Every structure is written in C-alpha cells, then in structure tokens.
Amino acid sequence: LQPNENYLFYIRAVNEAGSSEQSEAALISTKGTRFRLLKASAHPALMLSDDQTTLHYPQEAHKTTDKEHPSILGELLPSRGLHYWETVVSGSTAYRLGVTTNRNSALGETSTSWCLQCTPSPSGCRYQLLHNHIQSTVFVTKVPERVGTLLDYQLGRLSFYSVHSGQLLGTFRQWFAQSCHPVLALEQPGSL
C-alpha cells in the first residue's frame, strides 16, 4: 500500500459449497509521507536521482573526495511517534545508515548521530553500530539487500532490520530529545 492513498476492499467467501455475495466496500486510508532526501545537504561527490530517492557515489568522484564518507540528509522527522523507512543497500559494499540531530554531524562519530555501518572484510561484510566513536560489532547471518530503519521516539529506540529475512541487525536505546534527520552515507562508490 502506498502512503496517503484510499483503498476500497470487497470481501467474498469462497469454499466447497460455492461463494457468497460480495460485501459492501470497506474504505482503508493510509497515512504517512514519501521519503525524500535533501539535495541541498548532499556532499558534492554524490549524485541524487530526479525523484530524490536514490543516491549514487561515482567511481571518479571517489578518487577526488576529501571526505571518508560523503553523506546526505533525509527530511526532518517529527519528534514523536514511529518512523520507518527502507534503504536498498545491494548497490553498495560500504555504507552508513542512521540518524542525526545535528545537520553537520559526522555520522556515528559524534554524540548527536547513530548509525549502522557496513564495510568490506575478507569474509564478506562487517557490520557495526556506531555512536560517538563507540563501535559494537553486529553478527549478520545473511547480507541484506534492503535495510529497514525504525525510529521509535516513544520507546527511545533506533533499530535496523534485514527486510527480507526479518533479522534484527541492531538497536540503539536512546531518548531522542530533538527531531532527527535520516542520514545515508557511502564510504565507497555505489548506490543507495
């Protein structure tokens, strides 16, 4: 289902004896917003798709960048309720996904940012949770193609999931006093 849409559902029972009459329509309305990245916040080495949902870090830009992990912010998330978004990570071997309360924060390296980091390793990929220069290794059974991020202001949690397997990749327990921006960062050429 897409956000901010109305859907009509009709129900009909079907079994060995036949089928019932169709029910009256049931209206279901979805809420939410479409996730957008903020082009003005993008590092110059990054390219953003026209619909502002896909980030690309070209090989030629990687050679000239002065920053270890160029990043981009997503739209500010209101500081209440639950927020969930998914990132296709199969196009990158080294990335960071997370949130920050400070627009100028280096993702995972300050007290105002939290992230899941993936880096190449001899055995495939290495995953870590990063916050304020503190690293916690995450053991992943299958490399995810898509990562879901859940920010729960009420319970004070930021969690990362493998969308296809449902595996919890890691959770920060943190009371977020300020609104957060989602952040995507690429450490090597690729796409998110």
Dist. CA 152–CA 168, nearest whole Å: 15
Domain of residue 140 covers 35-191
Identify the pLDDT of residue 2.
63
Identify the pLDDT of residue 44.
86
Identify the pLDDT of residue 113.
92
Pair (110, 23) in one structural domain: no
The torsion defined by the Cα of 40, 77, 67 and 93, in degrees rounded to 10, comes to -110
Pair (42, 21) in one structural domain: no
Pair (17, 69) in one structural domain: no
Identify the pLDDT of residue 89.
92
Pair (112, 22) in one structural domain: no
Pair (28, 101) in one structural domain: no
CB 45 within 8 A of CB 56: no
Pair (11, 95) in one structural domain: no
How would you write the pLDDT of the chain (192 residues) with one tens digit per residue?
Answer: 566 777 777 777 777 888 888 888 877 766 666 678 889 888 888 888 888 888 898 877 666 565 568 899 998 888 888 888 899 999 888 999 999 998 776 888 888 999 999 988 887 788 999 999 888 888 887 889 999 999 999 999 999 999 988 888 999 998 888 899 999 999 888 999
3-state secondary structure 118-186: EEEECCEEEEEEEECCEEEEECCCCCCCEEEEEEECCCCEEEEEECCCCCEEEEEECCCCCCEEEEEEE
Residue type, 141: T
Identify the pLDDT of residue 157.
93
Total count of domains within the chain: 2
- Classified as helix, coil or strand, 189 is coil
Identify the pLDDT of residue 33.
64
Identify the pLDDT of residue 141.
76
Identify the pLDDT of residue 53.
82
CB 83 within 8 A of CB 32: no
Spatial CB neighbours of 187, under 8 Å, sequence gap ≥ 6: 68, 69, 94, 95, 96, 117, 119
Pair (86, 167) in one structural domain: yes
